[in-house]
Structures are given as C-alpha cells and as structure tokens.
Amino acid sequence: MDSGPGSPPPTLADPLEAFPPRSLEAGDIAVLALYFLFVLAVGLWSTVRTRRDTVKGYFLAGGDMVWWPVGASLFASNIGSGHFVGLAGSGAAAGISVAAYEFFGLFSVLTLAWIFLPIYIAGQVTTMPEYLRKRFGGNRIPTTLAVLYLFIYIFTKISVDMYAGAIFIQQSLHLDLYLATAGLLAITSLYTVTGGLAAVIYTDALQTVIMLVGALTLMGYSFAAVGGLEGLREKYFLALASSRSENSSCGLPREDAFHIFRDPLTSDLPWPGILLGMSMPSLWYWCTDQVIVQRSLAAKNLSHAKGGSLVAAYLKVLPLFMMVFPGMASRVLFPDQVACADPKICQKVCGNPSGCSDIAYPKLVLEILPTGLRGLMIAVMLAALMSSLTSIFNSASTIFTMDLWNHLRPRASEQELMIVGRVFVLLLALVSVLWIPAIQASQGGQLFIYIQSVSSYLQPPVAVVFIVGCFWKRANEKGAFWGLISGLLLGLIRLALDFVYPQPRCDQQDTRPAVVRDVHYLYFSMVLSAVTLVSVSIVSWATEPPSEEMVSRLTWFTRQDPVVRKAQGPPATALPAAHTQSGTAEAGGPSTQLDLVLEDKPEMHSGDVTPKKSRALRAILWLCGMGGQGEAQPPSRAEPVITSLEENPLVKTLLDISLVACVSCGIFLWGYFA
C-alpha cells in the first residue's frame, strides 16, 4: 500500500524478506537526534535538581514526587519494548485475548495504592524484602526473595526487552547489535548512576509522552490502512499466508480472535485461568515488585501515590488499542510474512520456524509510516526500552544494596552504600551485554506469552506469602518460608519441564508429558497458589504465633496501631551505622530501611585533617552526587518518605470517586470485549 507522502520508494527485494533494506531519511535522523537530546536534558535537569548524596535522595527521589510523574513512571516502567513487540505479536497470532493482562493490571495498580501501600507506609519499609524481614523476622525469606527478584530482573525483564529492542535496532538503524545495545546501556546507566530514582522518574515521564504520541499515531495509520475496527474484524479472518497448505489448520486465524474469554479446555487462554490464575502474577507485579512499589513510595504522600496509580490505571486501557489491534492490522497488511505457517518459510522470513508474529509491530513501523514519523516511532521503541531498563537498574541496585549488601555489612557508611548501589548498576549493564547471545538464541513464536508463562511459575508463591503476611496476623516465619519454598520448587520443576519439552510446531505431533501438555500455565498458577497457601496455613498453625512486634503496623488490620516507642540509650553510646528510627518498633538484626542509614564518618577526619582529593576524584564524586559541601556536614537522620496515612478529606473523597469511575471503566471494557 501507499505509505503516504514523504515515504521512500519501494525497493525491489525478496517478497519474503521481513525488513527490506532501507536507510533512514534525514527527517528520521533529526527526530531521533532531538529525542536523545531531550532525554539527556531531562535526565541532567533532574540530576541537578534533586539531592543525590543521601540514601533516601538516591533510591527514593527524596520522597517529594507529585502524582503525575509517579503515574507516568509506573506506566513507562511497565511498558517496555517487550510489550510493543510481544502484545502486537500475540494480537497478530491469536487475537485480543492477551489484552486481559493489561486490563488485570488496571485493577492491580489500584489495589496497590488503596490496600497494599498503606501497609507498607505504616510499617515504614522501602524495599519488599525489608517488609518480609519486619513482618516475619529472620533472614531466610528476605534473602531468598532478594536473590529471586534479581534473577527475575536480569534473566527475564532485561533479556526480553533487549531481545525486543534488538529487532528495531538491527532492522531500522542498521547498526551492529552489540554496538547499539552498548550505546543504549551507556546512556541509560549514565543518568541512573548519576541521578538515581529522581532522574529515572522524570525521564520516564518524558518517555511516556513520546510513547503515547508515537503509538497513537501508528494506531491511526494502521486503522486507516485496514478500514477501521470494522474493517479489521472482517479482514483479519481472511489474512492467510499464500504459502499455507489448504488441508492444514496451521496459520488459520482463531475463530474467537475478538473475544477475551475463551474455551476453558481447548483455547490458548482459558477463561477460568484468566479470572483466577492471572490474578496472582498480576498482584505480584503491581503490588509487591520493587520496580513498581518503589515509584509509589517516592510520592510526597499517600494521596499523590493514589493519584499516580489512577494515572497508570487509565493508561493501561490503551495497550489494546496501541499495540494489540495494530498487531492484528499488521497481519492483514503483510500476511505472507506475519502470518507465515510453513516452518521453512518462517525460518527464511524471520529466522524462527515457530512463527513470525513478533515482527508485526516493527513491520508496521518501517513499512507504512512516512519520513519523520518513522523516526518518531523508532524513538518510541528506544524510549520503551530505556525506561524499562533504567527502572530495573535502579530497583535492582536498591534491593542489592539495602537487602544483601547492608545485611553483609550492617555498619556500612552512607557513602559506601551510595558507591555500591552505583557500581551494581554498572555490573547489571555489563551482564545485559553479555546476555545478548542467549537472547538471540531464545526464539519464541509469541514473546509476550513466553514472559507470562515464566511469570506464572515463579511469581504466585511470592504473591501468596505477601498477601498472607498483609491479611493474616497468625502467619509466621516458618509457615511463610516453607510455603514459599514448596511453591517455588513446584514452579521451577514445571519451568524446567517446559524447557525440556518445548511446545511442538503446528505441523508436529504433541508428545509432551500430560502435566505439560494438558495443564495450561494459568491453571498451574492456580495450583501453585493453592499449594503455597495450604503450606503456609498448616505450618503456621502447627508452630508458635508471631510476636506482637511482627504484627503491629505491618498488616491491614493493625496498620493504625499506635507507634511503640523504645527507650532511648544514653547519647554518648556509640551507635552502629543503621539506627532504629525514633517512634518505630524494630526487631533485632541489621536494619535495611533507607531512611535509617546514617553516614559513619570518624570524627578524627574532620576539618583540616581531611586529605585533599585529586580533581579527577572530585569530579567523579560530584557527578555521582557525593561531592561538595555535603561531605563536611555532620551525619543526620533522614526523614521518613511517607510518615502518615492521613489524607486531606476533600482530596481523599475526590480520589475515591475517581477510583469508582476507573473501576467502572475497567468492568465495562471486560464486559464489552469478553
């Protein structure tokens, strides 16, 4: 079809080539250059604007974020390049059912702000493993979770986004994959290392605007090309590859492509699994994942956190229209490539014999958009990739620094924690580059479904432990630990079976074991949740109840308990680097709360005795926000991020009305598309 004025003339190429060779026009390059300038400018502005020389300033943006950047950052952290490629690919292959994950996210992000966040605020926690350390005591659960979170971040989130972004980088910019990836990681880790969470949140806000403008523009072009939603409904079922065998069902569009609720036994996403099995991974992601919760905890107060969640919830309506429908339109426009069914032809088109649906979105961008807009959409993909990477970098460094390093070195000074957090970001960037060959080797027919199946095996046990901890006062450390271990072992066994027995292609006989072939991953998520819940309940009832200190202000029913004040020791007593905050009951053991960490500077090095630093060292310290006069100031307690659950009555009423409106909107969408 005609790609509009300003598009380059079509090149004579192999009709089965997914991305015909074409170079970017000057307009596209100009848009990309402006994009990078804007991102760097916003990153540097937020870096200079905020305090970066304290743990709270670096990891929680100083706790002074208002609602709109919090909401934009929640959305941008969630929508990575894996979403654009994966949602559009699943739409092209199987229809709109994959949008159920997005609609579930709408309810889950509101659950975070109205139910889980008040508990985290009352308990004065800043990382998710820290909540479990306070709620259950001991170090087994938080250490297990800290390692599990880092594993999930590095080997699913980073790898998936890098794989999805690589499709655009290689095909649109014609750059070497390693060079382009290293450049992106250099830019993202630069403002993550120097600016901390504040830089990440403000750049996320910019990335969100760019993503919405670009994706909505492409949506308009794709709908115009297929004749609107009605045209898509008619033409989608006729979008068949010309090479498809007539006596085979391979490559046929699903009859229920425009329905979310599908057959409970034979469909790709059974409706009981959507309603019950999808809930636990969704609650894990939106209510207990450090990447998401950290943004809400950085808000000024609970009202701003709720406002941010409302913004993110309304934005979660858009992926169906911005990504899934355009992916289906791409199948209509390019059936021979996107809808290929013959393994040999698919291998030739995209290098993946399982199918080429994951090229649906990149194909649209590079084929139907005019000059300038094509550059904008490439910027959108880079924005999605960079925003999700920076979010993971910052949150992973928070978990490593506060839950692992601070546990190993409880007397670590504040400056040491700052340095460790920044160095860990650089290590993550290095691991990301080294992981690229594994990403290239891992080929899946539907990237987004791959993400969700892995999530369904690892996340439900963690979600159950958090839910039980928040809503059942009798749950104790032994019950939570053995419930978590039993659930994770079951999930890892199923995950290993999935890798040992991969799903056969359409033209192959399914010889997998029954537990893999017949038990859908969403049903297995329900089984994992039930096993974990039963294990937690049995062991908790059979062992001693938790102490009052581990329940007070750490569950939904005790969040309003009065603060227990501990007797203060004499002022002359030498204190460790991590102190118990005035007015907060703390269990024994090293504290990992961000606000409680003090700089541990020996007095003998004050004044003129301090050795003079070289210019290079001073420049590095300033860049990382650790230089200047802040170093000469005496250590002082950092104020808590959000100290109170109190809200302005008028603002609270307006937020509650908005909550009802947003939930009603979500229920309507479920009903309309189900």
Q: How far is CA 614 from the centre of its chain?
A: 40
Give the model confidence (pLDDT) of 123-142 as tens digits. 988 888 889 999 998 889 98
Q: Which of 322-331, 417-426, 605-614 has the highest mean pLDDT?
A: 322-331
- Give residue 589's pLDDT band: very low, low, confident or very high (50, 70, 90): very low
What does the angle CA 662 – CA 262 – CA 164 come to, to the nearest 5 degrees?
Answer: 70
* pLDDT for residue 239 is more than 60: yes
- Residue in the structure block whose two tokens are 């085979």: 248
Lowest mean pLDDT among 9-18, 294-303, 476-485, 640-649: 9-18
For 220-234, 240-254, 599-613, which range has the lowest pLDDT when averaged over its residues? 599-613
- CB-CB neighbours of 139 under 10 Å: 17
Mean pLDDT of 464-473: 96
Q: Label residue 574 exposed, middle or buried (CB < 10 Å: 0-12, 13-18, 19+).
A: exposed
Q: What is the pLDDT of residue 23?
A: 64
Percent of the chain that is helix, strand, coil (3-state, to 5): 65, 0, 30
Which range is most confident: 276-280, 357-361, 381-385, 628-632? 276-280
What percentage of the chain carries pLDDT values higher than 90?
34
pLDDT band at 440 (very low <50, low <70, confident <90, very high): low
**CB neighbours of residue 418 within 10 Å:** 25
Residue 307 has pLDDT above 60, yes or no: yes
pLDDT value for 610: 47
Name, of 139-143, 323-327, 377-381, the range with top average pLDDT.
Answer: 323-327
Buried b (16+ CB within 10 A) or exposed e, 383-406: bbbbbbbbbbbbbbbbbbbbbbbb
Predicted local confidence at residue 350, as pLDDT: 77
Mean pLDDT value across residues 68-89: 87
Query: Rounded CA gap, 599 and 587, in Å?
Result: 22
Q: What is the band of 178 on the pLDDT scale with cuts at 50, 70, 90? A: confident
Q: How many whole angstroms separate alpha carbon 362 and alpha carbon 123?
A: 45
- What does the pLDDT read at residue 54? 52
14-31 pLDDT, tens digit per residue, is 666 666 666 678 888 888
pLDDT-derived band of residue 13, with 50, 70 and 90 as boundaries?
low
Of 19, 652, 624, nearest in space to 330 by CA: 19
CB 75 within 8 A of CB 212: no
Mean pLDDT computed over 312-329: 95
More confident residue, 535 or 42: 535
Half-sphere exposure of 272 (CA within 13 A, CB side): 11
Rounded to the nearest integer, the mean pLDDT of the chain is: 79
Average the pLDDT over 238-248 and give the result: 78
Mean pLDDT of 636-652: 68
pLDDT in tens, 548-588: 999 999 999 999 988 765 444 444 333 333 333 333 333 33
Q: Are 191 and 44 in contact (CB under 8 A)?
A: yes
In whole angstroms, what is the distance from residue 329 CA to residue 38 CA?
A: 32
- In the prediction, which pLDDT does 192 show? 64
Judge whether residue 10 has pLDDT over 70.
no
Which of 9-23, 107-121, 277-291, 393-407 is predicted with the least confidence, judged by mean pLDDT?
9-23
Mean per-residue pLDDT, 21-42: 79
Q: Over 90: is that where the pLDDT of 476 sits?
A: yes
